[in-house]
Amino acid sequence: MKAMVGSLAGVGVGIVAGVIVAFGAQAAVAENSVPELETPPADQSLFGQVEYGSRG
């Protein structure tokens, strides 16, 4: 009987851990996006890259 209680407790802990991992993985995949940025014209940027601040 004690072995069965221990086994059931282990199964319960495994299920809870699996649910936590599944939700964590889903949240990590859902947040994997690149924000859209406005690209400046080529003559206003250095080497065609976005530049922050002034050139002065």
For residue 40, what are the contacts with CB-CB under 8 A and spacing of at least 6?
Answer: 50, 51
Q: Is the whole model's pTM more than 0.75, yes or no?
A: no
In this structure, is residue 32 part of a structural domain? yes
Range(s) of the domain holding residue 40: 2-44
In this structure, is residue 39 part of a structural domain? yes
Count of structural domains, the chain: 1
In this structure, is residue 25 part of a structural domain? yes
Distances (CA, A) of 51 to 8, 33, 37, 45: 59, 22, 12, 6
In this structure, is residue 55 part of a structural domain? no
In this structure, is residue 20 part of a structural domain? yes
pLDDT 10s digit of each residue in the chain, 56 long?
778 888 999 999 999 999 999 998 888 887 767 777 777 666 666 665 665 666 65
